[in-house]
Amino acid sequence: MKNVAVVGASGAVGERMIRLLEERAFPVASIRFLASERSAGKTVTFRGETHTVRPIARDEFRGVDIVLSSTPAGVSREWSPIAAAAGAVVVDNSSAFRMDPDVPLVVPEVNPQDVARNKGIIANPNCSTIQMVVALKPLHDAFRIRRVVVSTYQSASGAGQQGIDEFEAQTRAWGRGEAMPAPAKFAHPIFNNCLPQIDVFLPNGYTKEEMKMVLETRKIMGDESIDVCPTCVRVPVAYSHSESILVETERPITAAEAIALWNTAPGLTVVDDPGAQQYPLAASAEGRDDVFVGRIRNDLTNPNALLFWCVSDNLRKGAATNAVQIAEELLKLEPARA
Ligand code: 2RA
């Protein structure tokens, strides 16, 4: 049994972390819920009991074994090392430590072994990367992936509760024939739009989100030779990210071979029956923990390439589920570091 703290407990991901600890019957001896001063005082329920969210403070980490944290990177940068120094292992959902060589970046279906080399912080990868690497891993093991061309269709909830609220307010205004509320979280209205910008632009012309897909994929897969060519797009969908993916492999690959691998891979569900118009959908993936793949087809121009469509709930497998799975991996380690 573990003493657990959820930091960022009142956010969209934090709220799902709490539900997942319940759903997966995580062995909780004690639990506390923390958040920034702004969100402290709100209440959350866990296993039928109501808890008040308290402000993050040094003393709150005393005696805590596992911290599940989903806070902005600046908050994580300040508090996750403090929690780790107090003896906890922090599963940190922010981007603050993902590319730190001393911090494992883990997707349990791909590199669970990396959990063991934690020094107190384990980073939870970016949502669009998590779902992609779950699908890529079995292909890489069997065919060795050289290059990935990916276009994402990312839901508003990837931008947190503010993103959801903005999308819903604009949709409501349109439904009532009212003036569209001005965008605040996104650069342009998300309603009735596709925004080819997620996060800020970097000097190389890519967005930060796109570079996360490039760099995090290599780190999680443990292979710096994998090339990723991403375009990340925000779409007017509330929950679940969708991705169109082309993989190029060292050896020739067929759709049938990929499906056979995916059918036995952990965390993956194949939904691929074009005759019955069955393929993964954002609306169907919402609230689920798997990564769904479909529209699996051979590249017409290259025998060493394959195309598919990949969908997952970004707040669950893309964030909270993956974090709780990492905590479950910690339980399997010897007690000293779990
Ligand atoms: C997004 N990937 O969808 C981000 C959230 N981590 O905006």
- Ligand 1 atom having least distance to the Cα of 127: 2
- Ligand 1 atom having least distance to the Cα of 318: 6
Q: Which residues pair with 191 in a beta bridge?
A: none
Q: Which residues pair with 311 in a beta bridge?
A: 242, 292
By alpha-carbon position, which residue is closest to atom 1 of ligand 1? Answer: 158
Q: How far apart are CA 327 and CA 89, in angstroms?
A: 9
Known binding residue 312? Answer is: no
> Is the pLDDT assigned to residue 10 strictly greater than 50?
yes
Cβ contacts of 128 within 8 Å, gap of 6 or more: 152, 154, 158, 209, 212, 213, 232, 241, 243, 314, 318
Which of 198, 206, 241, 313 to mutate for ligand 1's pocket (most ligand atoms within 8 Å of CB)? 198
Sign of CA dihedral 257, 259, 260, 261: positive
Known binding residue 32? Answer is: no
Q: Which two tokens stand for residue 99?
A: 């590319």
Q: How far apart are CA 291 and CA 110, in angstroms?
A: 13
By alpha-carbon position, which residue is closest to atom 7 of ligand 1? Answer: 158
Confidence of residue 337 (pLDDT cuts 50, 70, 90): very low
Please tell me the distance between residue 299's alpha carbon and the centre of ligand 1 in angstroms.
Answer: 29
- Ligand 1 atom having least distance to the Cα of 314: 3
Percent of the chain exceeding pLDDT 70 equals 99
Q: How far apart are CA 78 and CA 86, in angstroms?
A: 13
- Choose the weakest-confidence range: 117-131, 199-213, 274-288, 324-338: 324-338
Q: What is the ipTM of this complex?
A: 0.96
Residues with a catalytic annotation lie at: 127, 241
Cβ contacts of 313 within 8 Å, gap of 6 or more: 239, 240, 285, 286, 287, 288, 289, 321
pTM, to two decimals: 0.96
Please tell me the distance between residue 295's alpha carbon and the centre of ligand 1 in angstroms.
Answer: 24
121 with 90: CB under 8 angstroms?
yes
Please tell me the distance between residue 154's alpha carbon and the centre of ligand 1 in angstroms.
Answer: 8
> Is the pLDDT assigned to residue 338 strictly greater than 70?
no
Known binding residue 314? Answer is: yes
> Is the pLDDT assigned to residue 253 strictly greater than 70?
yes
- In the chain, domain spans: 2-124+319-337, 129-314
**What is the chain's mean pLDDT, rounded?**
96
What's the pLDDT at 335?
58
Phi and psi angles of residue 253, each rounded to the nearest 5 degrees, phi first: -135, 145
Q: How far is CA 293 from the centre of its chain?
A: 16
CATH of 2-124+319-337, one of 3.30.300.100, 3.40.50.300, 3.40.50.720, 3.30.540.10: 3.40.50.720
Please tell me the distance between residue 128's alpha carbon and the centre of ligand 1 in angstroms.
Answer: 7
What's the pLDDT at 293?
98
Per-residue buried b or exposed e for 154-184, using 16+ beta carbons within 10 Å of the residue's own CB: bbbbbbbeebbebbeebbeeeeeeeeeeeee
Known binding residue 38? Answer is: yes
- Ligand 1 atom having least distance to the Cα of 157: 3
Burial class (CB in 10 A: 0-12, 13-18, 19+), 212: buried
What's the pLDDT at 275?
97
In tens, the pLDDT along 224-239 reads 999 999 999 999 999 9
Q: How far apart are CA 225 and CA 222, in angstroms?
A: 9
Please tell me the distance between residue 292's alpha carbon and the centre of ligand 1 in angstroms.
Answer: 18
Known binding residue 47? Answer is: no
What's the pLDDT at 272?
98
Percent of the chain exceeding pLDDT 90 equals 97
> Is the pLDDT assigned to residue 330 strictly greater than 60?
yes
Pocket of ligand 1 (CB under 6 A): 126-128, 154, 158-159, 198, 209
The CATH number given to 129-314 is 3.30.360.10
> Is the pLDDT assigned to residue 208 strictly greater than 90?
yes
By alpha-carbon position, which residue is closest to atom 5 of ligand 1? Answer: 158
In tens, the pLDDT along 73-103 reads 999 999 999 999 999 999 999 999 999 999 9
Q: Find the mean pLDDT for residues 149-167.
A: 96
226 with 146: CB under 8 angstroms?
yes
Confidence of residue 156 (pLDDT cuts 50, 70, 90): very high
Which of 93, 98, 124, 127 to mutate for ligand 1's pocket (most ligand atoms within 8 Å of CB)? 127
Confidence of residue 334 (pLDDT cuts 50, 70, 90): low
Q: Find the mean pLDDT for residues 243-264.
A: 98
- Ligand 1 atom having least distance to the Cα of 198: 7
Please tell me the distance between residue 301's alpha carbon and the centre of ligand 1 in angstroms.
Answer: 32
In tens, the pLDDT along 18-55 reads 999 999 999 999 999 999 998 899 999 999 999 999 99
Known binding residue 154? Answer is: yes
